[in-house]
Structure formats: structure tokens, C-alpha cells
Amino acid sequence: MSKRLELEALRADLAAVESIIANLDAEDFVAKLSFEARRDELLHEIKKIDHRADTLASVAIFFQGKPVLGSRAIDAEFASNAVAMYQDIVSKKLAVKETGGLAQRGPIPVRNASKLNIVDIVHGSFGFVLEEDDENGVPLFNSSLRDVVSEAGTVVEKFSSNNDEDFSRELEEIDQRLFSSVKKFYRHLHDNEASIRLVENDSERKIDKYGVERAYRRVMEADVSEDVVQIDGVLLGVTPISRRFDMRRIDVKDVITGKVGPLFSLEYLRRIEKDEQFIGRMWRATLNRKTVVRPGGRETHSYTLVSLDQI
């Protein structure tokens, strides 16, 4: 079980034991000694777990609603699909980080690196604990997957937020594949009248039925698509550190501003070291274009610079 959940359970036990001790009769020495010994055991266990390394990815997914029968059972088809869909969100989030968020086709290149294992079943409502494989030992610093699991949880949470700005900002940043995975996940929860609680290494997120309904409505009304386009124009500026570019198109005379892809940034730095002049010259830019359709139908475009070829 994850460190966070273990500490939750132990602290709940400790609170119960301390309450019993506080309410014992003064003459009940035997019971007092027994419960004080139990209190000391719990304090020792909490201290030991609190100092344990917590650098691998861990997330507990608790389900509530129609598919759950109290704290003892859950619909198998619903649960297996929901866990697989959440794993897919984690895989897509890692792929976005590894590829710089550029449009991709074909198999996810880092799916094995993002794999989580079901290591426990938890009750309260009914849920599963998913953890990163530790066959190579516990690392000294947080694993990349631990950070990705936290980021995936943030994406899921912001789509359900009652703050429209949280959702709007997340929609602006999300890529096509990850949006598709989040959409499938929320449609699955909505269609099965289920809600979730996510407990990660250092955070907890509760998405109730209203949050699920809100997220479902948003993903069904919004859309994210990506394609690759080529544009001829004059390069006005590139800042590889902050990863921004400005380019004036020669066909319609407007200026395109956007992000610089990570691979281009490295290539740009290598070429500028050779005194190659980029700014003010004509280039054919290859761009990853993302189209976001927001609830209500408003459409926006954003661009990521992939490469430049001199005209």
C-alpha cells in the first residue's frame, strides 16, 4: 500500500486508541497499560513509515456510485476499463513530456516506461492501489513516472473543476491524444454513474458526481485536433531558452507567434554557434498546429515550430 494511505490508516487507529485511553477509568491500570503499549507501537510505525523513501509513483483510485456495492465489491467490467483508461492517461502524459508535445502517430513510444501495477485493493469505498515497479530499487530522487502520475491527476482534476478558467487553461495546453484519453475516461464514469477519489504520493483529489457531470459536458462539447503545416515567411525572432518564435507570413502578411519545439531549440543553438543568421531571412517553417474548439464553438489555433528550411 502507498505511504500516504498507510499513514492515513495508522493515524486513524492512533486517534481511536488515544480516545479510548482518555476515557478509561483511572483504576483500570491493565487496560491502560495495554492501550498505551498499542499507542506506542502505532507511533513507532508512523515514524518509521514517515521516514521511508517515497520516490516511486503511486496512486490509489477509489470508486463510488452505481458500479460499487458498498465497500466489498465493484462491477468487474467497469473497474477493469476504468483502471485501463486511467493508465492510458498516464501513458499519454508521459509521451507528451518525452516528445515535447508534438503531434504523434502510431504506438505510444514510452508505454512500458509508464506502466503501473495493481498492488492492493482498498476499502472505504472500493478501489485499487497502482504503483510503479521497484525491481531496480527505490531511487534517491523522485522518478519521472512519479511526477507524471501527479501531472495526470492534475489534468483529470482541472477538467472537472468548478472554475472555468482552470479548465480553459488545461484545454489550451493539452494535446490531441491526451484529450482523447481524458474524454473516454469521463464518458466511462458518466455513463456508469460513477465518481472517483485519487490519492497520490503527496496529494488527494475528490471528483464527485457533479464534477464528473461537469467534466463530461465539457469534453463532449470541446475538441482538440493537431496537424502539421508548412508556412513561408520572414523569421522575426526565436528565443530557444523561453522557447518562443515570431514569424511574418508572406501570403497574408500576418504574424504567427508560438512555441519552439525542443528538438528545434537544440538544432538552433548548434547552428547559431556556427554564426548562421536566422533572423530577418525567408524560411519555410514546418509547424505543428493545434486547433482547440471550446464549449460554445469558439475555435483557436496555436503553433509549435518544428523545423526551418531556407527558401
Instruction: Give the residue with greater pLDDT, 297 vs 220.
Output: 220
Q: How confident is the model at residue 290 (pLDDT cuts 50, 70, 90)?
A: very high
For the chain, what are the domain ranges? 3-50, 58-221, 225-310
Q: Across residues 75-99, what is the average pLDDT?
A: 92
Predicted local confidence at residue 103, as pLDDT: 47
Range in 59-68, 137-146, 153-162, 290-299 with the lowest mean pLDDT: 137-146
pTM of the model: 0.80
Mean pLDDT of the chain: 87
In the 3-class helix/strand/coil scheme, how is the chain assigned residue by residue? CCHHHHHHHHHHHHHHHHHHHHCCCCCCHHHHHHHHHHHHHHHHHHHHHHCCCCCCCEEEEEEEECCEECCCEECHHHHHHHHHHHHHHHHHHHHHHHHCCCCCCCCCCCCHHHCEEEEEEEECCEEEEEEECCCCCCCCCCCHHHHHHHHHHHHHHHHHCCCHHHHHHHHHHCCHHHHHHHHHHHHHHHHCCEEEEEEECCCEEEECHHHHHHHHHHHHHCEEEEEEEEEEEEEEEEECCCCEEEEEECCCCCEEEEEECHHHHHHHHHHHCCCCCCCCCEEEEEEEEEEEECCCCCEEEEEEEEEEEEC
CATH architecture group of domain 225-310: Beta Barrel (2.40)
pLDDT tens digits for range 197-208: 999 877 899 999
Mean of the pLDDT values across residues 221-244?
A: 91
The pLDDT of residue 91: 94
Q: What is the pLDDT of residues 138-160, one digit of tens each?
A: 666 778 899 999 999 999 999 99
- Express each pLDDT in 18-34 by its tens digit: 999 988 887 888 888 99
Does pLDDT of 283 surpass 60? yes
What pLDDT is stored for residue 203 in this prediction?
82
Tens-digit pLDDT profile for residues 91-118? 999 988 776 555 455 555 555 678 888 8
Taking the C-alpha atoms of residue 59 and residue 49, their distance in angstroms, rounded to an integer, is: 17
